[in-house]
Structure 1
């Protein structure tokens, strides 16, 4: 029996190369199967909907249509409330504004840029510690520990606690995928992980309230800005969001980036000669191999017409960002990796009010990572292509990336 296109997207067999499926999707810009979600796959339509106030991100507005096998109804949670990514205005705007005060402009304009020295030191230490150049697992030895170390330092989370929150983060990231089989155990596992993470963060926040430092967690826990302080539950859900989102997508972006460069050795050579190319390379990577492939489980608050199709009020909506990024109506030769594109207005970090909160940091981390790997690894080459991928279809990236090189420069 032929799988539906939606099940093909979620099927692990297609994880290494989902782009032919997206090409089929774009033939019907608004794709709808039986009682399933409405799937939008073309660039201009996705961008418009990301800015449309009639689209809700709030899980409480998800359609309770039991006939939809790919829509997960919201569950009663006795642990953490949704993070601000899963809220609508005005709650979303207030929490995002409060979270941004210790992170970016206008109140903390130098927070990210001021981390350049730290980022360089972390990258240098990780590359120095790689060891055997004949067998490198880039994910385990570099792509994962780099952003985890950065987000721990930024938030004030002890780096030695990584082993504790790693499994919780993996469980919660896996739960982002729509569940075609409606497995109740997966939902229970995610709930348990949120509870454990919440209890862990509650202890840290209590410590920071008593002995605040310069880290973001301390500043959020003691803030008294124009919006007032966050409630304890808001602080817990925000801290959980920052901890998980602060490394999950960057791990994929760095790994996808190195994989793409090794498949395009001419670009890798150019980056080695000129580290400034890291900026356009990362932007093209965000278009070509975005770490977030699709945004599922959005809800329409009114009837919306898209390309002649009326998406009814209360419908579940998927926005396939990675498909929009390869839309030939928007990008010339979209399946070609080309950092010299004069216009790379991608959807790789979203758009609209829910655009990636940590985008400035993710960009800078990946620029540092790829430019230093290109400079220091002598003649790097893949040992396995395609590599094994993580199961996650929403946050898509290699689980391992085995490569070898002739040596590691100082």
Structure 2
């Protein structure tokens, strides 16, 4: 029996808790050709260059690996994922730029600069309530009790999802994300896509229609009634973009918060620093995005031309996977890459990707993580890991704990300084 390749070991669930030694091995060859003819890129400079290279396409319909996967599964549909038509996530300019601009008009500067910042008080209120709910307990689950409910509540309120409906789509989203696991065979992936796709799409179609009939002050209402200079999105795009924002708007942040809490518990001196100085949350989250990123790699990019990089020619038409987590720990990018050092003040990480596809929701994710981790550090009395490593989610590229049990001695009052003895 042959020894599994480095990439196979990265995909192997038994290595999910610590894939970093395998990333180190992968970086020894910056560009790796896999047996199926696709390529991995694992070093920082090369990944950053390709993220900004117009010869690299994000159009999934052009990607041979994605096409082969769909063909093997007997799938003839199109789209980014379950029940979705292509959104700007899997488009190239100029279509990407147009639909991203239409969406951004209602999410951020210059048209709507206060959309995210205006939710800061509400995010803090949600985090406060979630921590308050832990007061009578000696054991909590950071994922179920904080890392999941905060971003899912925020994205639902941002989009205008009625209260309570987030429970309807949690199961669908879990199944949809499982369908993207490259460790699964194509037939299983297809079954999971179909299982989740119809329900998710019907859910968003109903939501779009409801907001068109009775618009509110939310993001989805603004999008469905938009009469901006580039016109309204077609209904198919509205539904697909709504699903993209709903799923991507909380799933990666769940990982960022839970990975962050785990990292702080493993680094008690840094946890104490954040407890003493909540302003440390800003550089700390940036270091977390480098050190334990929520997205480990970006698959299904396609070379539109021959690309010479790091001594290798990636031929036109080849499929690319950019291994962001390996690039983030490239010693050619940062000194001591395996150490968690919040004082780096490094915002040139790959935690949000880069180029035209730089994460749309980065400002929201940053703020949610800063608020959640500050609340975690300042309000939980003597938090300590129950098990290390914790259990992980199945996905090798959306990597984070599935549960993070933590024992606590109590919960400090929200307005009391940490360690003042005021325990709820």
The bucket for the TM-score relative to the shorter chain is: over 0.9
User: Is 2:140 aligned against 1:136?
Assistant: yes
Distance 2:37 2:10 in 1: 14
- Using the TM superposition, give the Cα deviation of residue 2 of structure 1 relative to its aligned residue in structure 2, in angstroms: 1.1
Q: CA deviation at 1:373?
A: 1.0
Residue 192 (structure 1) shift:
3.7
2:40 & 2:153 partners in 1: Cα distance?
A: 36
Q: 1:195–1:114: structure 2 CA closer, same or farther, 3 Å change rule? A: same
| Contact kept? 2:65, 2:300, Cα under 8 Å | no
The aligned residue for residue 177 of structure 1 is 181
1:101 matched residue in structure 2: 105
Q: Are 2:243 and 1:201 equivalent residues in the alignment?
A: no
Change (3 A) 1:42 1:226: same
Q: Are 2:242 and 1:239 equivalent residues in the alignment? A: yes
Select the residue among 81, 84, 97 that pairs with 2:88: 84
DSSP 3-state at the match of 2:64: coil
Q: Is the contact between residue 202 and residue 236 of structure 1 (CA under 8 Å) also seen in structure 2?
A: yes
Q: 1:67 and 1:228, CA in 2 relative to 1: closer, same or farther beyond 3 A?
A: closer
Structure 1 unaligned residues grouped into runs of 5+: none
Give structure 2 stretches of 5+ with no counterpart: 414-424
CA distance in 1, matches of 2:399, 2:336: 22
Report 1:4-403 matches (<5 A).
4-63=5-64, 75-77=76-78, 79-179=83-183, 182-403=185-406
Task: Please say if residues 151 and 246 of structure 1, whose CA atoms lie closer than 8 Å, have aligned partners that are also in contact.
Answer: yes
1:142–1:68 Cα change, 3 Å? closer
Give 2:416's aligned residue.
none
CA distance in 1, matches of 2:274, 2:105: 35
Distance 1:115 1:310 in 2: 47
Deviates more, 1:237-246 or 1:137-146: 137-146
Does structure 2 conserve the Cα–Cα contact (< 8 Å) formed by 1:35 and 1:68? no
Q: Within 1, Cα distance between the matches of 2:5 and 2:288?
A: 28
Shift of 1:73: 9.8
The 2-side partners of 1:291 and 1:23 are apart by 18
Deviation at 1:298, TM superposition (A): 0.9
Is the 2:38–2:65 contact (alpha carbons within 8 Å) kept by the matching residues of 1? no
Q: Distance in 1 between matches of 2:78 and 2:194?
A: 7
Shift of 1:407: 1.0
Deviations 1:26-49 (A, max 9, x none): 000001132242000000000000
User: What's the C-alpha RMSD, in Å, of the aligned pairs?
Assistant: 2.0
Helix, strand or coil at the partner of 2:342: coil
Mark the CA change 1:184 to 1:277 in structure 2 (over 3 Å): closer, same or farther.
same
TM-score (norm 1): 0.96
Q: Is the 8 A contact 1:300 1:314 kept in 2?
A: yes
Q: Offset of 1:64 from its aligned partner? A: 6.0
